Amino acid sequence: MKSYRGYGVWLLLCVLLPFVGRAASAAELQVTTPTGAVSVYQTDELLSHAAAREIRVTDDAAYGQDMTYRAVPVASLIGDADAIDGETGLEVIALDGFVANIPLPLVLLDGDETAQAWIAIEPEDAPWPNLPGKEVSAGPFSLVWVDAAVSHIRSEQWPYQVAKIGYAAFPAARWPQLALGDDAAEDAKRGQAVFIDQCFACHRMNGAGITELGPDLNLPMNPVDYFKPEALVMLIRDPASVRHWPDMQMHGFTTDQLSDAEIRDVIAYLQAMAGRKAE
């Protein structure tokens, strides 16, 4: 009689292997609390979290449209934030190396007249649409805001594909080499604040930072060393209008995301930093 034992084993493997692979690659979100304790959440855990609920996000920064998510308040995941000093914020790291530094007071705001920070969760059986111009979604986890406009949440404070959330000192305190002196011009000081909010997620400065997405903007050369100011304005506003390549990562900034005055302030900061290169 012909044996079907080998065929049966092969068939069983064909059925089970996809599930084994799926389990091995289950999405995880790592959260470090103020005590240093690390929690690792998987999708199902967050979807069934006691604080999870459906939220409606107006003009989601990643998708450029209104979105509905099942989500958990960020404040419910990050431990006792009241134990944190005023020089510390949240450091949110994405899968691609994007690093958002978010002031803690923004996350802890409460009430109908403030923005609320949430971790949106992409269900495995109902994936989100791909991001505009990309072949991936914003999942498996995305930090989103309800009523973002009320608290003036910046465009780079919406990190998607989030992998890790933890606490870190504010960048200027953590890395003194990116900070200007007290005698710096006021426009350059304003530019430093904008740079940290809007540029530091992708670019290092003077060796400061942990992101790997974009180049350091002072070492070995500063953009003001080789760009005319008007060309630098164009590069920030619409990078593809200056140069373009297939794997280009940098996006432009609309006037809602970065005003003309703020771009001028960022350039003033870059000009000031060009004379303060780290050794």
Return the CA Rg of the chain: 22
Mean pLDDT along residues 32-46 = 94
Antiparallel, parallel or unpaired: β 65-73 and 116-121: antiparallel
Q: Is residue 210 part of a domain?
A: yes
Domain co-membership, 81 together with 160: yes
Going by pLDDT thresholds of 50, 70 and 90, the confidence category of residue 2 is: very low
pLDDT score recorded for residue 279: 74
Sign of CA dihedral 216, 94, 156, 139: positive
Last residue of a domain, one of 169, 185, 214: 169
Is 104 strand, coil or helix? helix
Full residue range of the structural domain in which residue 144 is found: 26-169
How many independent structural domains does the chain possess? 2
Q: Is residue 92 part of a domain?
A: yes
> Within the chain, where are the H helices?
5-24, 43-47, 104-108, 171-174, 186-198, 229-237, 260-274
Model confidence at 212, pLDDT cuts 50, 70, 90, reads: confident
The answer to whether residue 95 sits within a structural domain is yes
Do 63 and 152 reside in the same domain of the chain? Answer: yes
**Residue 97 is part of a domain; what is its CATH number?**
3.90.420.10
Q: pLDDT confidence of 278, banded at 50, 70, 90? A: confident
Q: For residue 257, is it within any domain?
A: yes
Query: Of 160, 240, 248, whose CA–CA distance to 201 is shortest?
Result: 160
Please check whether residue 1 lies inside any domain of the structure.
Answer: no
Q: Are residues 270 and 149 in the same domain?
A: no
pLDDT of the residue at 21? 45
Give residue-wise pLDDT tens across range 268-277. 999 999 999 8
What's the rounded Cα separation, in Å, for the pair 83 and 85? Answer: 7
130 and 111 within one domain: yes
Residue 211's identity, in one-letter code, is T
Please say which residue of 110, 137, 169 terminates a domain.
169
Cα distance between residue 105 and residue 263, in whole Å: 25
Q: What percent of the chain has pLDDT over 70?
A: 90
Looking at the fold, whether 31 and 137 belong to one and the same domain comes out as yes
How many CA atoms lie less than 13 Å away from 170 in the CB half-sphere? Answer: 16
Phi-psi category of residue 92: left, alpha or beta, with phi > 0 → left and psi -120 to 50 → alpha: beta
Boundary (domain end) residue, out of 142, 169, 196:
169
Q: Give CA 49 to chain center in angstroms.
A: 23
Residues 213-252, buried b or exposed e (16+ Cβ, 10 A)?
bbebbbeeebbbeebeeeebbbbbbebeeeeeeeeeeeee
Regarding whether 80 and 123 lie in a shared domain, the answer is yes
Residue 107 contacts residue 78 (beta carbons within 8 Å): yes
